[in-house]
Amino acid sequence: MTIADTRKRILIVDDEESMRLLLGRTVEALPNVEITLAGTCEEALHLAGSRAYEVILLDLLMPGVGGIEVLKTIRNASPNKQTPVIIVSVMADEDTKIVCRSLGISDYVVKPIVRESLVAVVKARIEGPDRSAAAPA
């Protein structure tokens, strides 16, 4: 097994380039990660449909089909059905959180992010013993 084989793959989905880069730099603090960035819903669906990730960070407010539809598609038909998905969004209302939880998210982080908190959440999901808990029952 090569070093590349042991890397933990993280997909970051956000339409704002500055936020994608910030999230990427933030989770780079974790050892042995490989980060993939997606700036559109379509790109996210393509990437999530073609490769498994250890964690997906997903914004909700995006042009196109939107983050909720991306989440539904990932949960219904992709190699990432059970991958921990962490929502990273400015939407802080309980109704949105409830919808996301019903679709099997692992965590919900409200922007602006606290770097240390986000790193801790991602690390816990990468190292979590049971990834199947992320899938909806």
Crossing angle of helices 115-127/17-27, nearest 10°?
60
Report domain extents, the chain: 3-127
- What kind of fold does domain 3-127 have according to CATH? Rossmann fold (3.40.50)
What is the reported pTM? 0.90
pLDDT, one tens digit per residue, over 10-64 is 999 999 999 999 999 999 999 999 999 999 999 999 999 999 999 999 999 999 9
Chain segment 67-106, per-residue pLDDT in tens: 999 999 999 988 999 999 999 999 999 999 999 999 999 9
